[in-house]
Amino acid sequence: MQSSIVVLVLACTAFAVSTRLLLIPLATANTFFDPDETYQATLVAQTHACDTAKLNLLPWEWRNHVRSYAHILPFYTYFKYISECSGSIFDELAPRAMQSTLTATAGDVAVALYAYRHAKRVYERDEARARAVAQTTFVCHLTCWFIAYCGQRTYSSAAEASFTTLGVLLFDGLRARVAGLVCAALACAVRPTAALFWMPVGIAAMVHEAHDASSPYAAAKLAATAGAVALCALTLLACVDKAFYGRWTFPMLEFVRFNVVSGGARLYGTHPWHWYVSQAIPAQLFTYVPFAVVGAWRALRSSRSWEAAISHHAPLLGALAYVVAMSLQPHKELRFVLPVLPILCVYAAHALCRGSTGSRSRGALLVGTLAALQLVPLLFFGTYHQRGPIQASRYLAWHSKPVHALWLAPCHSAPQFFPTRGMHARFLDCTPSPWFTPTPGSNGTSPTHPTEWRQALHDGTSKMTEERRFFANSSRFARACLGDISYTHVATFERGEEEEGLLRALRDYDYELVGRWPNDAFGLLDDDRRGLWVSVWEKKKCL
């Protein structure tokens, strides 16, 4: 029996890794989702590995010690010692392959193994039912469109989700709890929000141990072990950040200070408190959402006591606490709740298996239909929606001549690749700072002449970000930029009549349209500054 399970696990691992790697060109390689995929990961790793002279050009979070280097350490190792800064197409694909492999092993396989162990405990060692739940969980997690679309990108949230899922599996087994705590520490290292999940899970485990009469000191022992692992993790994290930043610093505190204490995350948009529950998670799980709700509700309702609920469903309680805590923050993003999706897939599998009891063929048909429907959003978002920023960036990056491009677009609305192969790009600076004020100019009025705009760009008298200056008067801002430096290319979003002044300025400076790609297919983006198309203009003398 044990050998057959090992063979099955190895086969599932090979299948999951192969599927995730094959999904890269389908789900992630050709469309843009969120700028952190490059700004907070590969760009930073490549800059440190290949050209430290450009460290001052990194996003503001890294210049102000808000981010920890724990997440980018594997990417840095690849660029520094494997790729050796070759600048090939593999430099774009390899980090995604690394994250895809992590999602397959620590996500797909780990959540199925946890579902198997969890079902055996809940269903009193019913082997057949436990296997059915594990298999269904594996299919649900592997085919969930949002996990395929987002979990294979180089986000810290994706790594957090993988380490959290693996940690849940290991922490659930008494003999591997130290390994589970190590995974929890890794999840918190790459993204501190993981503590919102692990604190309730840890408290539930200690409460359960405290009520276990056979081991009166088990709770204290678990707390001491967790404290020791946390101390070691913080020490190693501090050493890693010291090596990259050059001085002792603690980015976790800066992360909390900026995002929570000072409310700086509001600068990147806000959503209502119920957004995760009413819109985000239903959209992410798609066809699986009603089964996840029913499965979670039945699990909590059928618990004979609160001790049983804590013992059997601690990760579910941690996931609920995570969603509640994240909902209290005004700034919300879809990928922020990625770590709770594997747990919800487990309970969706419980509901699916219970609903198809007595007919395996009917159950398989139901799961297959739900999985097939997941392909609809995956194909749309993975191959078409927001294709423009990726295509425009690749056009500039792989141009036959040296490129010095200017992106006149909202901040972080396009991926920023490492400047190799003679390609350099300038993006609008949107550094959030207590020195910035909402006034359009230093005297409270907008500059009226291009020379005044150029002065506002370079001196410290104006406290307004470049992005706000640009959208206050895109034509004047463009003339100020183009009058200072001769850019070979300019990329921008087409926003209809609002862009007429900008396009006129580009033509006045002898730029010609050379590329145009679709961006927002049906007006799905909540930012109207990003239009339906992305266009690239090239200076005529460079043609």
Residue 147 CA to residue 161 CA, distance in Å, equals 10
Domain assignment present for 308: yes
Bridge-partner residues for 492, per DSSP?
Answer: 408, 535
Residue 416 shares a structural domain with residue 349: no
- pLDDT for residue 452 is more than 60: no
Q: What is the pLDDT of residue 513?
A: 92
**Mean pLDDT of the 227-231 span:** 96
173 near 207, Cβ under 8 Å? no
Domain coverage including residue 338:
2-255+279-383
Please state, in angstroms and as integers, the Cα–Cα distance from residue 123 to each residue in 126, 132, 299, 302, following that order: 6, 12, 11, 12
Residue 353 CA to residue 372 CA, distance in Å, equals 18
Residue 143 shares a structural domain with residue 207: yes
Q: What is the pLDDT of residue 439?
A: 34
Please say which residue of 383, 406, 436 terminates a domain. 383
Provide the pairing of β-strand 423-427 with 403-408: parallel
Please give the residue that has the higher pLDDT: either 209 or 459.
209
- Of 12-16, 54-58, 513-517, the one with minimum mean pLDDT is 54-58
According to DSSP H, which parts of 246-305 are helical?
Answer: 251-256, 275, 281-285, 289-301
* Angle at which helices 474-484 and 500-508 cross, to 10°: 20
Entry pTM: 0.89
- Of 279-288, 300-309, 503-512, the one with minimum mean pLDDT is 300-309
Residue 132 CA to residue 109 CA, distance in Å, equals 14
Please state, in angstroms and as integers, the Cα–Cα distance from residue 236 to each residue in 70, 89, 170, 254, following that order: 9, 33, 22, 18
Domain assignment present for 265: no
| 3-class SS of residue 140 | helix
- Of 64-73, 233-242, 301-310, 473-482, the one with minimum mean pLDDT is 301-310
Residue type at position 7: V
Q: Total domain count for the chain?
A: 2
Residue 340 shares a structural domain with residue 214: yes
Domain assignment present for 273: no
Residue 254 CA to residue 201 CA, distance in Å, equals 25
- Of 45-54, 103-112, 346-355, the one with minimum mean pLDDT is 45-54
Alpha carbon distance, N-terminus to C-terminus of the chain:
68
Residue 457 shares a structural domain with residue 395: yes
Residue 453's pLDDT band, with cuts at 50, 70 and 90, is very low
96 near 24, Cβ under 8 Å? yes
Residue 376 shares a structural domain with residue 426: no
Residue 330 shares a structural domain with residue 417: no
Residue 469 shares a structural domain with residue 356: no
Residue 70 CA to residue 189 CA, distance in Å, equals 6
Q: Residue holding tokens 């029913």?
A: 294
Residue 358's pLDDT band, with cuts at 50, 70 and 90, is low
Q: What is the pLDDT of residue 356?
A: 63
Residue 411's pLDDT band, with cuts at 50, 70 and 90, is confident
Q: What is the pLDDT of residue 108?
A: 94
Measuring CA to CA, which residue among 415, 417, 463 is closest to residue 442? 463
Measuring CA to CA, which residue among 377, 381, 465, 463 is closest to residue 428? 465
Q: What is the pLDDT of residue 200?
A: 94
Q: What mean pLDDT, rounded, does the chain reach? A: 84
Domain assignment present for 272: no
**Mean pLDDT of the 506-526 span:** 84
| 3-class SS of residue 423 | strand
According to DSSP H, which parts of 191-288 are helical?
Answer: 195-210, 218-245, 251-256, 275, 281-285
Percent of the chain with pLDDT over 90: 41
CA 148 to chain centre: 12
Q: What is the pLDDT of residue 447?
A: 40
Residue 456 shares a structural domain with residue 524: yes
Q: Which of 33-37, 226-230, 531-535 has the highest mean pLDDT?
A: 226-230
Q: For the CA atoms of 444, 446, 450, 453, what is the dihedral angle to 10 degrees?
A: 50
290 near 298, Cβ under 8 Å? no
Residue 407 CA to residue 397 CA, distance in Å, equals 13
- pLDDT for residue 451 is more than 80: no
Q: What is the 3-state secondary structure (H, E, C) of 315-362?
A: HHHHHHHHHHHHHCCCCCCHHHHHHHHHHHHHHHHHHHHHHCCCCHHH
27 near 103, Cβ under 8 Å? no
Q: HSE-up of 457 (CA within 13 Å, CB side)? A: 21
Please say which residue of 348, 383, 418 terminates a domain. 383
Beta-strand runs (E) in 116-184: none
Q: What is the pLDDT of residue 420?
A: 57
Residue 324 shares a structural domain with residue 360: yes
Residue 475 shares a structural domain with residue 458: yes
Residue 310's pLDDT band, with cuts at 50, 70 and 90, is confident
Bridge-partner residues for 494, per DSSP?
Answer: 533
Please say which residue of 346, 362, 383 terminates a domain. 383
Q: What is the pLDDT of residue 445?
A: 40
Q: What is the pLDDT of residue 201?
A: 94
Domain assignment present for 342: yes
Residue 9 CA to residue 3 CA, distance in Å, equals 10
**Mean pLDDT of the 528-536 span:** 81
Domain assignment present for 84: yes
Domain assignment present for 99: yes
Domain assignment present for 263: no
* CA angle in degrees (0–180, nearest 5) for 495-498-502: 95
Please state, in angstroms and as integers, the Cα–Cα distance from residue 403 to each residue in 53, 408, 536, following that order: 19, 15, 12
Q: What is the pLDDT of residue 312?
A: 85
Q: Which two tokens stand for residue 287?
A: 């066809």
Measuring CA to CA, which residue among 484, 437, 512, 418 is closest to residue 50? 418
Provide the edge-to-edge strand list for the sheet that holds 533-539: 423-427, 403-408, 489-494, 533-539, 511-518
Residue 425 shares a structural domain with residue 533: yes
Residue 533 shares a structural domain with residue 472: yes
Residue 21 CA to residue 152 CA, distance in Å, equals 9
**Mean pLDDT of the 341-349 span:** 96
- 375 — alpha (psi -120 to 50), left (phi > 0) or beta? alpha
- pLDDT for residue 106 is more than 50: yes
